Amino acid sequence: MEGEVLLRLSYTLDTIADAAKQFWQQLHGHRVFAFSGEMGAGKTTFIHYLCDYLQVQDAVSSPTFALINEYHFTDAGKDRTIYHLDWYRLRDTTEAINAGMEDCIITANTTPAICLIEWPEKAMELLPRQYLWISIGPISPSEREMTVKLVRTA
Ligand SMILES: Nc1ncnc2c1ncn2[C@@H]1O[C@H](COP(=O)(O)OP(=O)(O)OP(=O)(O)O)[C@@H](O)[C@H]1O
Ligand SMILES: [Mg+2]
């Protein structure tokens, strides 16, 4: 994915909480976060720790079956929504639209909500003009490397 590199992190499960904190401190101004990586790369695990850092009270789990999980957190005294989306089981953009994915992205671009998307490759056309592309890959069984790029499309 082409884009300006905003952040590079490597972490284990011992340091992932700190990685999540650094991630949010640096990237909290963004709304749409596309998490790319193979099965078991650690997308859901990272999102879980990010939600912990944001003090989300709702149960954070993989939305593989529900496709959309909604959580809430408080930011500067205001409620903000997190849409945790998993596009793995979607076949294409049409299915994604029918499942309500475009609505979540529009909401994230027009309200203080954010979208955290696993398997964004399944419906790339739904991504907005500007988003973060986050690739996660293994360095070793316990270590992951994350690269965050700012993608702007014409
Ligand atoms: N540094 C690490 N960061 C994240 N996960 C790790 C790390 N080290 C080991 N793991 C393990 O790797 C697995 C990652 O699974 P996870 O469900 O987060 O992957 P995923 O990318 O969401 O996969 P899927 O595409 O199936 O949704 C977990 O079992 C986790 O404990
Ligand atoms: Mg997952």
User: Which strands, in side-by-side order, build the sheet including 68-75?
Assistant: 4-11, 144-152, 130-138, 32-36, 114-118, 78-86, 68-75
The bound ligand whose nearest atom lies closest to the alpha carbon of 17 is 1
Please, are residues 132 and 34 in contact by the beta-carbon 8 Å criterion? yes
Return the pLDDT at 154: 78
pLDDT at 99 > cutoff 90? yes
Q: What is the pLDDT of residue 66?
A: 79
Q: Measured in angstroms, how far is the CA atom of residue 154 from the centroid of ligand 1? A: 33
Instruction: List the CATH number of the domain containing 11.
Output: 3.40.50.300
Residue 60 C-alpha from the chain's centroid: 13
What residue type is 27 in one-letter code? L
Q: Domain limits at 9?
A: 4-152
The token duo for 45 is: 């695990």
Nearest-atom index, ligand 1, CA of 136: 21
Rounded distance between C-alpha atoms, residue 63 and residue 61, angstroms: 6
pLDDT digits (tens, 9 = 90+) for 60-86: 998 877 799 999 999 999 999 999 999
Euclidean distance between CA atoms 102 and 47, whole angstroms: 20
In tens, the pLDDT along 8-52 reads: 999 999 999 999 999 999 999 999 999 999 999 999 999 999 999
Q: What does the pLDDT read at residue 27?
A: 98
In this prediction, residue 143 has a pLDDT band, given cuts at 50, 70 and 90, of very high
Number of domains in the chain: 1
Task: Give me the pLDDT at residue 23, please.
Answer: 98
DSSP H/E element including 148: strand 144-152
Ligand 1 pocket, residue 43 CB under 6 Å = yes
The CA 138 to ligand 2 mean position distance, Å, reads 15
The response to whether residue 63 sits with its C-beta less than 6 Å from ligand 1 reads no
Any atom of ligand 1 within 6 Å of the Cβ of 39: yes
Q: Kindly give the number of the ligand 1 atom that is closest to the alpha carbon of 11.
A: 1
Give per-residue pLDDT as tens, 115-142: 999 999 999 999 999 999 999 999 999 9
